[in-house]
Copies of this chain bind each other. A is one copy, B any other.
């Protein structure tokens, strides 16, 4: 639809100015979109860095105790979230480059357009100029006609009447020329204005198409990252589920365990005769007979 070709006529023919002002907003919008994307990229980068810091906090979680293996689950998840947001930052910076590149192209297109519509600027000014002459011309003609009418009523001399009639005819010719000029300027204006309006609309249409493509790319990047983040969340939940309480207790017992053999009771006869045997063999009294674990004293244990 030729919206611009239909809505920008009316009083004082300001339509051209309004449309020209409109297309000048195109590069402004492009610049603002670039600012917006740059800011969003900064936000994602800050978030990514904060997540990397959070991952460090998780990796500093105490390695002692039964809970320790779950810190690894937190660390991995935070690390992956940091990466997702860093990836989005990168994508947004790439998009920003596209926006800036488009902004430069747009300025060239605008310069070209400015040259193409110069004729319309002239036509608008011409119409304005001849339009301003019309009332004067018409007033002059009206005044001459009234003079002639007055002389006619006053039965003035034929000479005076002829003079006034000549003046009136000249005024009529002048008005006719003004009207012709106006009609010619008007026709020229209508053709050129319509041409410019269509040109502006085509330009705006191309601009909006391009901007919407950039918006689509923005939405796509954000959505991609959102899907990845969802996977990280799902993985975190799954990992927490997989690390069962039973597994944690077993893992701790197996890795930190001190031994599965309980200290056995001592038998006096065996213990004492073994000592004698050792004495007779002149070997160390502690070299055999009982495993050391059964007779060595346990270290003192205190609750601290």
Interface of A toward B, CB cutoff 8 Å: 1, 3-4, 6-18, 20-26, 28-29, 32, 35-36, 39-40, 42-43, 46-47, 50-51, 53-54, 57-58, 61-62, 64-68, 70-71, 74, 114, 117-118, 121, 124-125, 127-132, 134-135, 138-139, 141-142, 145-146, 172, 175-176, 179-180, 182-183, 186-187, 189-190, 201, 204-205, 207-209, 211-212, 215-216, 219, 222-223, 226, 229-230, 233, 236-237, 240, 245-246, 248-250, 252-254, 256-268, 271-272, 275-276, 278-279, 285-286, 292-293, 295-303
Contact = CB atoms under 8 A, between A and B. Distances in A.
Contacts of A179: 266-268, 271
A293 to B, nearest CB: 5
A277 to B, nearest CB: 10
A102 to B, nearest CB: 13
A74 B36 contact: yes
A172 B273 CA distance: 11
Contacts of A21: 64
10 contacts: A9-B259, A13-B298, A22-B64, A36-B54, A36-B58, A46-B50, A67-B211, A125-B302, A127-B263, A186-B263
Contacts of A246: 1
B207 A66 contact: yes
A128 B295 contact: no
A285 B233 contact: no
B240 A219 contact: yes
Nearest to A129: B297
Contacts of A146: 279
The oligomer's copy count stands at 2
A257 B259 CA distance: 90
A302 B120 CA distance: 10
Most B CB atoms within 10 A — which of A51, A172, A209, A297? Answer: A297
A244 to B, nearest CB: 9
A198 B153 CA distance: 134
